[in-house]
Structure 1
Amino acid sequence: MAGSLLVSLSGITARTLDGCLDLATALDERGVPLSLLVTPNAEEGHRSVSDWVRERVVQGDAVLLHGYDRRVRDEFADLPAHEARLRLIAATAALEDTGLRTNAFAAPGRRVSAGTLKALRLHGFAVYSDGSTVRDLRGDRLLRARLHGFGGRGGAGETARRNAFVLAAARLVRRGELLRIGLRGADLDRPGRWSALLDAVDTALECGVVAATYVGPAPRVTCSPRGSTLTSVPSGARLVNRP
């Protein structure tokens, strides 16, 4: 059975926007949608970013809320439920101010607290993802699937890491498993990472994977005996009508 491909992009800023546009174009040519991880903030140039994200949603890409304050490392890692809910309320309001709405959340860091998961459910979120799992918050179904990316390091070992990225992607799709690729805007100014990404995506498509997003109806995923099966992911991202 063919596997599935999910490609997400974080770190979308005015500085990285040109690379993000190029990535979207390359994936459009391959029929691969993007899941855009958005952190609402008042950064200079944010209007151009939100305008582009809205355009991408119209074209079929998805939006996941990726925290509230990018300056706070692992900002939801230790919060109790009531504090997490207050932060989620502020984040969703800020997101709606840009004309976007979503009920999907991507952890801004390695993990979130149990209180945050509770707050996500109370606040109406349907999908949660982090570096190792994707969770349906309404049915509490859990899919274990590692997020594959390049990390922030460069320099020594960069070529080996890129090769390992491509090989890992090929192994997963040939076994019919879910391939999750997580990119950062900063990755897109490194030609070697560009090449590795496109090699991984092209290999996946040659193996017959179905490309999807985190917030649209997802194809069935067959996992290894260590994992789980997720048959669908609730729809979540949409535009907000603005006056």
Structure 2
Amino acid sequence: MLVSLSGIGPRTLHRCAELAAELDRRKVPLSLLFAPQLAGTPAVTEWVRTRVRRGDGLLLHGYDHRIAPAHRPHLGRKAEFAALPAHEARLRLIAAQAAFDRAGLTADGFAPPRWLASRGTLEALRGQGFRLCADVGAIHDLETGAVHRARVQDFANHNQRTETVRCFALVLASARAARRGGLVRLGIDAMDLTRPGLRQALFDAVDVALENRAFGTTYQSLTASPRGTTRTSVPSGARLVNNP
């Protein structure tokens, strides 16, 4: 089971810390999706460093999340790396890696904003020495070419009218995947932690997966483990993330 957290910033840091503490009690590591350009304060970066030292995973989460006018939108895919050719993706990755270096961080994994990465981005990632890329439908091992197929389940594009349904679907998808021995991928944006229903649904999804013999890991550990290649199924019909 992989649990990722994005949207880490000054206004959400206390909620991120609360989430991390709850998962620590469950012995489930977080995978932190972090864009240092958007961190805001040194305290945020220091918290990320501390969590990584304690065993959480870290993935580069884009550069500044801006969409170039020339690529807005491409078939409705509105995200920083969704439609970039390789040379433009490479320039953004170089800038993002430099920001990571200045922050005293290192990451060999990449999770694009909104989980959307173009083929050019995958090519650029290989050229920049990244080991993995996690997109909306799979985790790409950029060294071996292996693809671990499992759709990330989160609350993207939710609204209050559908919140209850999405919460139920998240827990159901987690239970189904875990019972089948599949890979459970859960994700939450830190802003969603302000909504008690979404927060509780995430914990319920984690708990039901653990009850069905899933165990927590990070994206880096998954691609490093031969066992990771066998746990790639995901239930059909439980789709909380819509391709933009």
Task: Tell me which interval the TM-score lies in, with the shorter structure as reference length.
Answer: 0.7 to 0.9
Match of 1:179 among 175, 178, 184: 184
Q: Which runs of 5+ in 2 are unaligned?
A: 68-77, 237-244
**Identity percentage of aligned residues:** 49
Map of 1:30 onto structure 2: 26
Could you tell me how far apart the structure 1 residues matched to 2:134 and 2:14 are?
A: 26
Classify the secondary structure of the residue corresponding to 1:41: helix
How far does residue 97 in structure 1 lie from its aligned partner after superposition?
0.7
Paired residues for 1:71-82 under 5 Å: 71-72=66-67, 73-82=78-87
Change (3 A) 1:121 1:226: farther
Structure with the bigger percentage of strand: 1
- 1:13-69 Cα offsets, whole Å, 9 max, x none, are 11111110000000000000000001121553x211100000000100011001001
Could you tell me how far apart the structure 2 residues matched to 1:133 and 1:93 are?
A: 27
Could you tell me how far apart the structure 2 residues matched to 1:132 and 1:225 are?
A: 10
How far does residue 225 in structure 1 lie from its aligned partner after superposition?
9.6
Paired residues for 1:87-102 under 5 Å: 87-102=92-107
Map of 1:231 onto structure 2: none
Q: Which amino acid aligns with 2:92?
A: R
Map of 2:240 onto structure 1: none
Higher mean C-alpha displacement, 181-190 vs 109-118: 109-118
> In angstroms, what is the RMSD of aligned CA positions?
1.8
May I ask how many residue pairs the two structures share in their alignment? 222
Structure with the bigger percentage of helix: 2
How far does residue 160 in structure 1 lie from its aligned partner after superposition?
1.4
Change (3 A) 1:51 1:43: closer
Classify the secondary structure of the residue corresponding to 2:176: helix
Contact 2:176 2:235 in 1 (8 A): no
- 1:98-123 Cα offsets, whole Å, 9 max, x none, are 11011100021342222111110011
Map of 1:61 onto structure 2: 56
Contact 2:158 2:166 in 1 (8 A): no
How far does residue 91 in structure 1 lie from its aligned partner after superposition?
0.4
TM-score normalised according to structure 1 size: 0.86
Q: Which amino acid aligns with 2:22?
A: A
How far does residue 153 in structure 1 lie from its aligned partner after superposition?
2.4
Contact 2:182 2:232 in 1 (8 A): yes
Could you tell me how far apart the structure 2 residues matched to 1:225 and 1:195 are?
A: 22
Match of 1:104 among 75, 95, 109: 109
Could you tell me how far apart the structure 1 residues matched to 2:232 and 2:137 are?
A: 13
Map of 1:238 onto structure 2: none
Higher mean C-alpha displacement, 78-87 vs 9-18: 78-87
Match of 2:37 among 22, 37, 41: 41
Higher relative contact order (CA 8 A, sep 6+): 1
Q: Which runs of 5+ in 1 are unaligned?
A: 228-243
Q: Which amino acid aligns with 1:116?
A: T
Could you tell me how far apart the structure 2 residues matched to 1:200 and 1:119 are?
A: 34
Q: Which amino acid aligns with 1:66?
A: H
